[in-house]
Amino acid sequence: MSNSPTEYRFSFGPWNIHEGADPFGPPVRESYSFDEKVDFYRDLGFLGIQFHDDDVVPDIDEKTHAQLISRAKSVKTQIDNHGLTAEVIAPRLWESSLTIDGAFTSNSAKERQYALERSKRCVDIANVLECKNFVLWLAREGTYIRETKSSSDAVGQLLDAINALLDYDPEIRILIEPKPNEPMDIAYIPTIGHAIGLAYASADSDRVGGLIESAHAILAGLEPSDEMGYALYHNKLWSVHLNDQNGLKFDQDKAFGSANLRRAFNQVRVLEENGYGRNGEYIGLDVKVMRTQPRDISTKHLLSSRRTFLNLLEKVRTLDRKVEQEFIAARDYEGLDFYILEHLLGK
Ligand code: XUL
Ligand code: MN
């Protein structure tokens, strides 16, 4: 590994600029079109786009294969013209009337088949975009009540789907994005440990890894930086969705560091210290702007999350490791605690 500092590249998804609807109220801001969103990226300091299949090809289920490829090609030209890269692409498997009971773990064989076909179409789009990173957020793979499905059969169904996708394309890499709940009461793959278990059980474990979202780890009652460390040890942290979360409630996707700056510091630290980014991994954000934000300034959460990452990176790089080691050697963890706080406060 070279000693020169990593120059991090950042990504976000078009859904991170949004209209402010929540389960209790309608949109409060007029939409920006896809083309307008693409225009924003570079000015905000971002080079990578996180896609869902239907961000690229709207109304994907109504499109023929030829229409799908043709639309994907025009998006590829558009992002090339902006000097942008498709970092990841994910099939949006949770909105169709055919995935109400789950996608790969639906109780209906016909619906499971739909989920696989839709995912293969997403791989076809990935190929046009020259994107090797296929994200699976397993949104509806879980239960509202335990009695409806077999948790053990579900693992086999998920593995069958993963293996079928690995077989469909010899180069695609699958990044599982775990989340413990929402929309389901309880999800089958709640943590990165579960995801990595699936990876090792798959037909080509080198091509199955993970994407860790800070808020999802927090919702599982876990420390995101330790979850990241676990995946990094296995060389399976291939993307992140940095954001923040204030306690155990709905998935908030707050700006990075806005609920707990020290927890954010430790995420930046574990990434930096383990060479994250040196194989082309992006610092992905998955952040939602507050519902109260006026439309013309509804991208500030992206700017500020990126700045917070860079500010914390400076804190990681300027931490005096010798002082830290002295505290550790003396087992003076109270002293170290206060030293870290003062460092973060710029004292
Ligand atoms: C949901 C979530 C998704 C994934 C991409 O909580 O984080 O937006 O990041 O499908
Ligand atoms: Mn996410």
| Model confidence at 55: pLDDT above 90 | yes
Is the CB–ligand 1 distance for residue 288 below 6 Å?
Answer: no
* Mean pLDDT on 270-280: 98
Fill in the DSSP letter of residue 297.
G
From 22, 118, 213, the mutation candidate for ligand 1 (largest count of ligand atoms within 8 A of CB) is 213
3-state secondary structure of 60: helix
Overall average pLDDT of the 236-251 stretch: 97
d(CA 288, CA 65): 33
Q: Indicate which atom in ligand 1 lies nearest the CA of residue 137.
A: 10
Q: Which atom of ligand 1 is nearest to the CA of 179?
A: 6
- The whole-angstrom separation of Cα 253 and Cα 96 is 23
248 and 215 Cβ atoms separated by less than 8 Å: no
- Does residue 2 surpass a pLDDT of 90? no
CB atoms within 10 A of CB 130: 11
Ligand 2 centre distance from Cα of residue 212 (Å): 8
117-135: pLDDT as tens digits: 999 999 999 999 999 999 9
74/76 Cα distance (integer angstroms)? 5
Q: Is the dihedral of CA 285, 288, 293, 297 positive or negative?
A: positive
State mean pLDDT over 25-38.
98
Tell me: the pLDDT tens digits for 290-344?
999 999 999 999 999 999 999 999 999 999 999 999 999 999 999 999 999 999 9
- 31-66: buried (b, 16+ CB within 10 Å) or exposed (e) per residue? ebeeeebbebbeeeebebbbbbbbbbbeebeebeee
Which pLDDT tens digit goes with each residue over 168-185? Answer: 999 999 999 999 999 999
Whether 67 has a pLDDT exceeding 80, the answer reads yes
Of 113, 115, 105, 191, give the one whose Cα is nearest residue 148. 105
Ligand 1 pocket check: which of 137, 181, 214, 256 to mutate, most ligand atoms within 8 Å of Cβ?
Answer: 137
Report which of 6, 81, 25, 89 is spatially closest to residue 51, judged by C-alpha positions: 89
- Confidence at residue 331, expressed as pLDDT on a 0 to 100 scale: 98
Pair of tokens at residue 256: 């990075």
- Using alpha carbons only, give the angle 91, 177, 289 rounded to the nearest 5 degrees: 85
Tell me what the pLDDT averaged over the chain comes to: 97
HEC-encoded secondary structure of 261-292? HHHHHHHHHHHHHCCCCCCCCCEEECCCCCCC
Q: What is the structure's pLDDT at 206?
A: 98
Q: For residue 254, how far is its CA from the centre of ligand 1 (angstroms)?
A: 13
Whether residue 173 contacts residue 209, with contact meaning beta carbons closer than 8 Å, is answered with yes
